[in-house]
Structures are given as structure tokens and as C-alpha cells.
Chains A and B, each alone.
Chain A
Amino acid sequence: MRVAVPVFPGSNCDHDAIHACGTVMGWDTVPVWHQEPRLPEGTELVIVPGGFSYGDYLRCGAIAALAPIMADVKRHADNGGLVLGICNGFQILCEAQLLPGALLRNESLRFIHKDVHLRVERADLPFTRAMKAGAVFQVPIAHAEGNFTIDPADLADLEARGGVAFRYCSPAGELGEAHVPNGAMNGIAGVVNLRGNVLGMMPHPERAVDPKLGPTGGLGMFKSLAETFVGA
């Protein structure tokens, strides 16, 4: 399985993604500088990593969405290739219009870093197939702009077509405003495109995969990807 991780000036979770895919999962994982025109030959999964690409100038992810490599990431997605955007990567995918909506400043105005619980809303995706619908997993968040927003008509569409992959919840899986750390509409933590091959999420599954470093709540997603490519 070949994974490409685009690296922008200001990316800082590229190494987390490379550690998760390369060291923990044992996949062939390569960083790709944002100025490159093409993803490496045979790339199956692109992880757009977290960080502060271009210093979050203009809007989070707005400048990175224009980087040369992103044109090839779009081509990869249009061909059905998998793309996972995490944190700033999610913001970049929204700005690149690979995913709907936008991530606004957290309702509290604060940068929030803590563990959260997510409920799996879609367990039929290449990213989630080893998980069960309704299952709860724990992963960290670390962001100041994770407040998912979309216009009301598009929100209704997104919900109706099953575009919500994950929602913030209590450890027992209950939904509700009290469990939403950043003000995101409908508690949305992760969004998937219509085709099911592009997923963006604010929480960091790639930071919760190595037992040497702490809890491993994010492993379910990586095991899902392993099943997708290698078979169960």
C-alpha cells in the first residue's frame, strides 16, 4: 500500500501521519513537497496532514488549496483514489472544494487540545469498514478553527445523503451540544464526499495509533484502510 503525505510550509502533523502509516502500519509512505506537480506513481491513499499551512493566512487552508500538488490530489480523488484530510488537512479539502462546508473559529475562540469521543456514523467507508456503525472511539483534537459550518440547505443535503462520517459524542455515545468542543453544526467532526473516497475530520486518528505513545483509539481507521487495500 502506497501512501503520499503532501507537506506544505507550516504543516506539522506530516510526521505523525508518516509515523502512523509507515512505522505503525508498515505501509510505503512518502512525504511529497507541495511544489511537486504529481503524486508518486501508484499512490493509493493521500493523507493531507494537519498544521498551519502558510500560517493560516487569508483563511485556514485557502492558500494550500492552490498549491501545485493539490491539482494532482484532485485528479487522484476524481479517479476514485482515497484522500484523508486531518485537521488543517480537512480545512484544505474544504477550501479545495473536495468537501462541502467550512471550518470557522471555535465558538469559545480558544485553541482546544484534548481527547474527544467520536461516534461512527458511516461504517461502510474505506476509512471505517473495520468499525461498527454507532461505535465510539477516542482521539485527540488540537485546533482553533474546527467549528464546522455550512448553509442550512446544504446541511440538510449533507445529512440526507449520509455525508457525516463522525460526530462528537459522550464516552457512552450520546450526542448533544455538551459534547461538541468547538460549536460544529450538528456535532459534525468528520465529513465524507458523495462518492465516499474523500474524508475530512478535525480530530487526529494518526496521533492515537502507537501504544508506546498512549491510547490507540485511532487504529480502527487505519485497520479499515488496511482491509480496504490488503483485504481482511
Chain B
Amino acid sequence: MKVRVSVQLKPGILDPQGKAVEHGLHDFGFAVDHVRIGRLIEMDVPGTDPSEVKAKALAMCEKLLVNPVMEKASIEVV
């Protein structure tokens, strides 16, 4: 099954990259706020049971995909 793991900086963690992009958007006249930049990891995971596949993705997050000091993830099984 296709799995999408979206990794975001935790709230409160400074995101200088997001800030820079926010300033860029302001330069184009877009009135945006709180721009945060994350990472989207997409993969095929063997299995047919969405909850089982999600559990595998969660284990991957804990082992490697996410650094819990600064990041959190949301998992979507498609």
C-alpha cells in the first residue's frame, strides 16, 4: 500500500527556512503567516491491512524517519 509520511517541525521549534519563504511570499504581496516547511516521504509498503501498514510506518518513524527532539509526523495510508 502507498504510505505518505509527512514530517513537520514541532510547534515552537524555530523554522528559519519557513521564515525565509514567508518573507519571500510577502515580497510578492501574499499576506501569509506561520509558514512552516516539512518533508513528505512516500513509499510502497507491503500488506493489505491499513492499520498493520500504518503500524509499520510508525515503527519506521521511530527508528529513522523522525527525530523526536524537533519533529513530529503524520502518517497517511492511501
Contact = CB atoms under 8 A, between A and B. Distances in A.
B20 interface: yes
A183 B67 contact: no
Given A107-B16, A149-B13, A183-B14, A58 B69 contact: no
A142 interface: no
Given A102-B69, A149-B70, A62 B64 contact: yes
Given A58-B65, A94-B69, A107-B14, 19 more contacts: A59-B67, A62-B64, A66-B64, A101-B69, A102-B70, A104-B13, A104-B14, A104-B70, A105-B16, A105-B17, A107-B16, A108-B16, A109-B16, A109-B20, A149-B14, A149-B69, A150-B69, A151-B69, A183-B16
Interface residue SS majority, chain A: loop
A66 B59 CA distance: 15
Contacts, number: 35
A106 interface: yes
Interface residues of A, number: 20
Contacts of A62: 64, 67
A121 interface: no
Interface string B30-74: 000000000000000000000000000000000011010110000
A72 to B, nearest CB: 19
Interface string A98-140: 0011101111110000000000000000000000000000000
A106 B67 CA distance: 17
A106 B65 CA distance: 21
Interface residues of B, number: 10
12 contacts: A59-B67, A62-B67, A66-B64, A101-B69, A102-B67, A102-B69, A104-B13, A105-B17, A107-B16, A109-B17, A149-B14, A150-B69
A95 interface: yes
Contact of B67 (A95, A109, A147): A95
B64 A106 contact: no
Contacts of A101: 69
Contact of A106 (B13, B16, B69): B16
Contacts of A106: 16
A147 B14 CA distance: 10
A150 B12 CA distance: 11
A58 B66 CA distance: 9
Contacts of B64: 58, 62, 66
Contacts of B20: 109
Listed from nearest, the 4 A-B pairs whose CB atoms lie closest are A102-B69, A109-B16, A102-B70, A105-B16
A147 B9 CA distance: 14
